[in-house]
Amino acid sequence: MTRSSLFICAGLVWLTACSAESVVTAEDTPAPVAQAAQAGSPAAAETPAADPAETRTTASATSGNRLAAAGAAQNALTARGVRELDWEELMPEGEDERLAQLYRQQMEMLYAAPISEGSAADQAVQIGTFNTVPELNGTRIRLPGYTVPFEYGANVEITEFLLVPYYGACLHAPPPPPNQTVFVTTETPIRLRDLAQAVWVEGTLYAQIQESDLADAAYTIKMDVIEIYEY
């Protein structure tokens, strides 16, 4: 992948998510009820029609249970003094416009002076700023994302890694902006089994710059808890 294609990738993949569709084959599709139980047959007589009102009530109860569970989880976080964040909240006001301008400038440079694939200049470059949100400094937070370790191996225990908003960042795709990259430290070593699995990281957030070969980070989290992100 050339540097120019990597820059385009960085602009498009930043803060995006993927969705999947399930496919049902003909063999998986049940036969129509009319074929299984014709009108007037005992099976038809024993199968009452679904009550639309009852169906709506069940759906409403399920939705209510989910909302109640989400509310209880949020109340538990609040009781512990933890604030749940999304990635956009890590960027100060006006940062979207500044980032768009930086991407435009970089693309203009690439068009003016194209870079040959495989050359020494063909490198994935991190675009963005170290601008942070001052009021978040020292806040106990909970943030979802994907892990990027500095060491790999089935039994490797680590105490430092990067947290990024999309899978593949810093590895298969250019790194996000510094203020969309978080350097995570933990006193208790952990093992990262599946980099494609999103996680929740909970701890204290600091506006503290960390530099690394993979990417630079404008924020640091001193982690207390890491959990699997349930979709």
Asked whether the predicted pLDDT for residue 82 surpasses 80, the reply is yes
CB proximity list for 87: less than 8 A, separation 6 or greater:
15, 143, 145, 165, 180
Let me know if residue 128 belongs to a domain. yes
**Residue 66 domain-assigned?**
no
186 contacts: CB under 8 Å, gap ≥ 6: 159, 160, 203, 222, 223, 226
**Per-residue pLDDT, 152:** 81
Question: What local confidence, expressed as pLDDT, does residue 150 receive?
Answer: 93
pLDDT of res. 109: 80
The number of distinct structural domains making up the chain is 1
pLDDT, position 175: 93
Q: How far is the first Cα of the chain from the last one, in angstroms, to the nearest whole number?
A: 31
Better pLDDT: 12 or 149? 149
Give the per-residue pLDDT at 15. 35
Instruction: Tell whether the model's pLDDT for residue 11 goes beyond 60.
Output: no
User: Which residues have CB under 8 Å from 204's CB, separation 6+?
Assistant: 138, 139, 140, 141, 221, 222, 224
In a domain, 37, yes or no: no
Q: Residue holding tokens 């538990």?
A: 76
Domain harbouring 170, CATH code: 2.40.50.870
The tens digit of pLDDT for each residue in 23-67 reads: 333 344 333 333 333 444 444 445 555 566 565 566 566 666 767
User: By residue range, what is the domain housing residue 113?
Assistant: 3-14+80-228
In a domain? residue 117: yes
Indicate whether 98 belongs to any domain.
Answer: yes
User: Which one has a higher pLDDT value, 120 or 192?
Assistant: 192
> Does residue 24 sit within a domain?
no
Output the pTM of the full model.
0.67
| Model confidence band, residue 116 (pLDDT cutoffs 50, 70, 90) | confident
Does the residue 86 lie in any domain?
A: yes
Confidence at residue 77, expressed as pLDDT on a 0 to 100 scale: 80
Rounded to whole angstroms, how far apart are CA atoms 12 and 35?
Answer: 50
Q: Per residue in 130-189, pLDDT tens?
A: 999 999 999 999 999 999 999 887 788 999 999 999 998 887 788 999 999 999 999 999
**Does residue 124 sit within a domain?**
yes
CA distance 221 to 132: 14
